[in-house]
Amino acid sequence: MPSSSSSSSSWCTVVLLLGTLFNHGTHVEGGLFSTATDRVEHIEGTCGGDTRQEEIASAMHNSMTLLWASPILSKQIVAEDSETNKIITTLILDDFQAFNESIRTGTESSCALGSSRAGLNEMYFRHQRKAFEGGLSRRGIFGNEIMRQLDAMVRAAAKEYFESIGKNEVAASISEKPIFMWNGIHGSCGGGHMSHVHKGSLLSGVFYSQAPEGSGDIVFEDPRGASFDNRIILPPRQGTLILFPPWITHSVSSSCTKDGNFRVAVSFNIVGEWEVTADASVTMFRYE
């Protein structure tokens, strides 16, 4: 986690939902249980019970702890008016249009630009997933140099994310992890995504290359369940990257953009086990 003396040219905030908010300059201890959960295993037949639980209890002694936090990182990685956003948006829209043309059968496509099973956007997603699973994604749009740069920025932010919650071994391995990236285009006809999670993922996220007025928000639901019924709504910001645990239920509200503009985003999953972030906890302070 960056210390109070660290500096950064880009705005970055990590939110521990239902816990605390911290940024560069605020002192907290991240990843309280990284040692206990990474190294200590339950030993069958050991008198004295669950060793892991004993280690956790010891770590919590004489301190104030936020348990089971939901770390959300929001970082402006590209300036809003940057040429990079424009180039990425053009690449994505051109690729989407090419895909649209490839499925036409001589008449105007009747598929809605939404996320229904029959929608063009859903078909585009399946097309991209098939390319990834077949090892072909690097031959298409994601083989472009500027998309490779985006990949590098995502990995750098993911490394920072895991370091901030005390998962240093995971952070060190991020450069080797496969990332499934896919493009999403939502227009003026109400496209959105219903509540879902991302199984089989280490970390999930989204980058917004274009977010005109009326773009749909990303909505995170309280992981404690319906008894609390809380939501955090984050409007998309052009050039902003958001990273979040893949197990947290989230959705995208409908877009209502104007003048033919689209909400253009690159979503992604870093492949791995989602349990890695399931025990993210923070020590607020410790008694001497």
Written in H, E and C, the secondary structure of the chain is CCCCCCCCCCCEEEEEECCEEEECCCCCEECCCHHHHHHCCCCCCCCCCCHHHHHHHHHHCCEEEECCCEEEEEEECCCCCCHHHHHHHHHHHHHHHHHHHHHCCCCCCCCCCCCCCCCHHHHHHHHHHHHHHCCCHHHCHHHCHHHHHHHHHHHHHHHHHHHHCCCHHHHHCHHHCCEEEEEEEECCCCCCEEEECCCCEEEEEEEEEECCCCCCCEEEECCCCCCCCCEEEECCCCCEEEEECCCCCEEECCCCCCCCCCEEEEEEEEECCHHHHCCCCEEEEECC
Mean pLDDT of the chain: 79
167 and 54 within one domain:
no
Task: Tell me if 117 is assigned to some domain.
Answer: yes
86 and 32 within one domain:
no
Return the pLDDT at 14: 56
Task: Tell me if 154 is assigned to some domain.
Answer: yes
204 and 132 within one domain:
yes
Mean pLDDT of 157-172: 95
Q: What confidence tier does 17 reach under pLDDT thresholds 50, 70, 90?
A: low
17 and 121 within one domain:
no
Q: Which residue has the higher pLDDT, 183 or 139?
A: 183
* Cα 171 off chain centre by: 15
Return the pLDDT at 40: 27
Return the pLDDT at 195: 86
On the 0-12 / 13-18 / 19+ scale of CB atoms within 10 A, 99 is middle
pLDDT for residue 282 is more than 50 = yes
Query: Which stretch of 55-59, 170-174, 201-205, 213-217 has the lowest confidence by average pLDDT?
Result: 55-59
Return the pLDDT at 3: 37
What pTM was estimated for this model as a whole? 0.79
Q: What confidence tier does 16 reach under pLDDT thresholds 50, 70, 90?
A: low
Return the pLDDT at 65: 87
pLDDT for residue 201 is more than 70 = yes
Return the pLDDT at 133: 86
Phi, psi of 101 (to 5 degrees): -65, -35
Q: Which residue has the higher pLDDT, 8 or 81?
A: 81
Residue 61: give the domain boundaries: 12-70+278-286
Q: What is the pLDDT of residues 31-77, one digit of tens each?
A: 433 333 332 232 233 344 567 778 878 888 999 988 888 999 999 99
Q: What is the spatial order of strands in the sheet that 282-286 belongs to?
A: 29-30, 282-286, 63-66
- Averaging pLDDT over each range in 115-119, 154-158, 273-277, which range is the top one? 154-158
* Cα dihedral 182, 185, 186, 191 in deg (nearest 10): -50
Return all residues near 82 (Cβ < 8 A) that are at least 6 apart.
239
C-alpha distances in angstroms, 177 versus 203, 273, 288?
11, 11, 40
CA–CA separation, 6 and 8 (whole Å): 7
130 and 62 within one domain:
no
Task: Tell me if 1 is assigned to some domain.
Answer: no
Task: Tell me if 6 is assigned to some domain.
Answer: no
Query: Which stretch of 24-33, 92-101, 140-149 has the lowest confidence by average pLDDT?
Result: 24-33
pLDDT for residue 1 is more than 60 = no
32 and 157 within one domain:
no
Count of other CB atoms within 10 angstroms of residue 250: 23
Return the pLDDT at 134: 83
Task: Tell me if 4 is assigned to some domain.
Answer: no
CA–CA separation, 199 and 273 (whole Å): 8
90 and 51 within one domain:
no
Task: Tell me if 79 is assigned to some domain.
Answer: yes
Mean pLDDT of 198-214: 95
CA–CA separation, 267 and 248 (whole Å): 15
pLDDT for residue 251 is more than 70 = yes
Query: Which stretch of 15-29, 34-48, 182-196 has the lowest confidence by average pLDDT?
Result: 34-48
